[in-house]
Amino acid sequence: MRRIVNYIQNSELQTIKPGWPGTPLTADGRFVNHEFPFIPRLWDVLKWKWGPQPQKLEKQQDTFRLQTYTDTRFLQQEEDCIVWLGHASFYIRIAGIRMLIDPIFFKVPFVKRYTPPPFPAEVFKDLDYLLISHDHQDHCQKKSVRAVISGNPAITVLTGLRMETLLRQWIGNTKLQTAGWYQQYHTPAPLQIYFLPSRHWSRRGLNDTNKRLWGAFVLKSENKTIYFSGDTGYGDHFKTAHILFPHIDVAIIGAGAYKPEWFMSPAHISPANAVIAANELMAKVLIPMHYGTLDLSDEPVGEPLRELQRMQQEGLLHGSLHALQSGEVYTGW
């Protein structure tokens, strides 16, 4: 594994974790997690694709599908809300500020989609922010980003360090802020937005692995705090997030694309670990994501939700579980 030789941050942004030296970087300019240094290997991908699939038949026979809600009246309202757009895509309105996170409105190449996007990009107007957690195709889609920018020319894009190397050619002169881990973006009151670590990786081409930073977001108003995990494996970053943000109302955490776990665990959290993470965050509500939408892994499409519901029934989740349908509006603060 490449050795960490430097730590970088955006010098124009505030770092919120005391003693944090910056986001770790290797000699060849690749970001890396302190706790679990990881760069995916082609051999592991081939081992997965050519290896056994013990749940293949169960996956084929799973009839679970998310419902799709298409009512857009929430867009004309002012109440704080969270709307799941499928996979890791969300519309969030908090303290009157409107944003999209990781919007994917169009087909992801070579990936089966179980449920369609509940709304087209064109319905989202007067957005303040577009948040992009990392550069993978199922979170950062050129056509979707351009569609959002086209309908919201005054929007500001918030993302991780060095993401401008990908995004600037798509968004032109649109306002853009890139943050290192544990940094706070420049956003006017009453909303504060932070970029935190996740256990993942990045790549768009053959030679740019981990050249752009990935991460999680925290949205904090005067009376609400939302944690968005981004893509992540399990790690100590959840405990650290709780120390920095001890009153998380809603934690949006991935729960799918986790099998086989020997391959997926460095990048995608399992339902069991999503519950542990939500407990460590001491979140009042867990909203699961990253399941039921795209076919990215070996588990049956409905398994993540079934596992979460089982653990809730067994009392393993300390907060409450609120699993949204695609396009459903959450206002249960």
Express each pLDDT in 138-168 by its tens digit: 999 999 999 999 999 999 999 999 999 999 9
pLDDT of 206: 85
Cis bond before residue 153 (omega within 30° of 0): no
**Is the CB of residue 249 less than 8 Å from the CB of residue 226?**
yes
pLDDT, mean over the chain: 96
Alpha-carbon span 268 to 260, nearest angstrom: 10
Q: Which of 227, 313, 331 is nearest to 271 (CA)?
A: 313
**Band of residue 257 on the pLDDT scale cut at 50, 70, 90:** very high
- Using the predicted structure, report yes or no on whether residue 107 has a pLDDT greater than 60: yes
**Band of residue 1 on the pLDDT scale cut at 50, 70, 90:** low
| pTM of full prediction above 0.85 | yes
| Residue corresponding to tokens 């909203």 | 287
Alpha-carbon span 253 to 273, nearest angstrom: 10
pLDDT of 157: 99
Q: What is the mean pLDDT of residues 80-90?
A: 99
CATH number of 66-330: 3.60.15.10
DSSP for 272-333 reads HHHHHHHHHHT-SEEEEESSSSB--SSS-TTHHHHHHHHHHHTT--SSEE--PPBTPEE---
How far does the chain reach from its first CA to its final CA, in angstroms?
44
- Using the predicted structure, report yes or no on whether residue 21 has a pLDDT greater than 90: yes
**Band of residue 315 on the pLDDT scale cut at 50, 70, 90:** very high
Report in angstroms the alpha-carbon separations of 97 from 58, 75, 78.
Answer: 43, 12, 9
pLDDT, tens only, 167-190? 999 999 999 999 999 999 999 999
pLDDT of 2: 64
At 100 the three-state DSSP class reads strand
pLDDT, tens only, 22-43? 999 999 999 998 777 777 777 7
pLDDT of 39: 73
At 94 the three-state DSSP class reads strand
Structure tokens belonging to residue 39: 């760069």
Q: Which of 197, 253, 195, 187 is nearest to 221 (CA)?
A: 187
Q: Which of 174, 203, 319, 194 is nearest to 251 (CA)?
A: 319
Look at the alpha carbons of 284, 290, 291, 292 in this order and tell me if their dihedral is positive or negative: positive
Q: What is the mean pLDDT of residues 75-90?
A: 98
Q: Which of 83, 48, 82 is nearest to 260 (CA)?
A: 48
**Is the CB of residue 112 less than 8 Å from the CB of residue 297?**
no
At 183 the three-state DSSP class reads strand
pLDDT of 154: 98
**Is the CB of residue 258 less than 8 Å from the CB of residue 264?**
yes
Domain ranges across the chain: 66-330
**Is the CB of residue 274 less than 8 Å from the CB of residue 288?**
yes
Q: Which of 298, 247, 308, 305 is nearest to 273 (CA)?
A: 308
pLDDT of 3: 77
- Using the predicted structure, report yes or no on whether residue 45 has a pLDDT greater than 80: no
pLDDT, tens only, 221-249? 999 999 999 999 999 999 999 999 999 99
At 131 the three-state DSSP class reads strand
**Band of residue 5 on the pLDDT scale cut at 50, 70, 90:** confident
Report the amino acid identity of residue 201: W
pLDDT of 47: 80
Length of the chain, in residues? 333
**Band of residue 272 on the pLDDT scale cut at 50, 70, 90:** very high
Structure tokens belonging to residue 216: 């999680």
Please enumerate, as own/partner, the contacts of 55-60 that have beta carbons within 8 Å and a separation of 24 or more: 55/259, 55/298, 55/299, 55/300, 56/298, 58/300, 59/298, 59/299, 59/300, 59/301
Pairing of strands 175-179, 156-160: parallel
Q: Which of 169, 95, 102, 174 is nearest to 138 (CA)?
A: 102
